[in-house]
Amino acid sequence: EVQLVESGGGLVQPGRSMKLSCAASGFTFSNYGMAWVRQAPTKGLEWVATISYDGSSTYYRDSVKGRFTISRDNAKSTLYLQMNSLRSEDTATYYCTRFTSLYLGVMDAWGQGASVTVSS
Amino acid sequence: DIQMTQSPASLSASLEEIVTITCQASQDIGNWLAWYQQKPGKSPQLLIYDATSLADGVPSRFSGSRSGTQYSLKISRLQVEDIGSYYCQQAHSNPNTFGAGTKLELK
């Protein structure tokens, strides 16, 4: 069974940093592109960042470029999101997602989500 | 960036009713369109990919269609377990934009 389990969320002050992790199991992690998607309270889904299967390519939405870094450790089957200079508008549930093997950009597995609250 | 205009924002329907949700892409994305379902308090789940292909385990009452740059999700006979929010997403290019969502409620 495919499982994605996020950790590392919580309350953080504006301007500070936080790192999310996503432990993957039930599939060969190193074969799949991955992404982070977030959802602000009572709002819709928003793509945040993507990383290729081998970590060689990364993409970010404009509002997080230069502040967030997506990375992966294929030996540990773990995806990361390092978030620096956090802002109140980054408050959201962050989902770790897996891309399908054939249709890049289509997310066929989602974690349960990690809640991040940016507030003083 | 490609914009995805989804409608309606909310929808109230009766059991066994036919429900249709649409998404309009701001430019040609071919069949690079997916639909997701998010039940209350849960993570989203993939329903349809490649505009018309059903994801594994999705009931056959769900279907997707395309006409040019307009995409539709149809639920042929609404069931209680279909209540929740639905999102379209273009997978053509980064950023992989989502529609604003449709909240589906029981009448």
Structure confidence at residue A104 as a pLDDT band (50, 70, 90) = confident
| Beta-carbon count within 10 A of B72 CB | 17
| Mean pLDDT split into 10-residue runs, chain B, 107 residues | 97 97 97 97 97 96 98 97 97 94 96
pLDDT confidence tier of residue A15, bands split at 50, 70 and 90: very high
Q: Mind listing the pLDDT tens digit for each residue in A69-97?
A: 999 999 999 999 999 999 999 999 999 99
Q: What is the pLDDT of residue A67?
A: 98
Does A59 contact B55 at a Cβ distance shorter than 8 Å?
no
Tokens 């950009």 found at: A105
Residue A46 contacts residue B36 (beta carbons within 8 Å): no
| Cα–Cα–Cα angle for B74, B77, B80, rounded to 5 degrees | 105
Helix, strand, coil abundance in chain A, percent, nearest 5: 10, 50, 40
Q: Contacts of residue B98 in chain A, CB cutoff 8 Å?
A: 44-47
**Interface contact B36, partner A, CB < 8 A:** yes
pLDDT at A101 over 90: no
User: Per the CB < 8 Å rule, is B101 touching A45?
Assistant: yes
Most A CBs within 10 A among B96, B103, B104, hence the mutation to make, goes to: B96
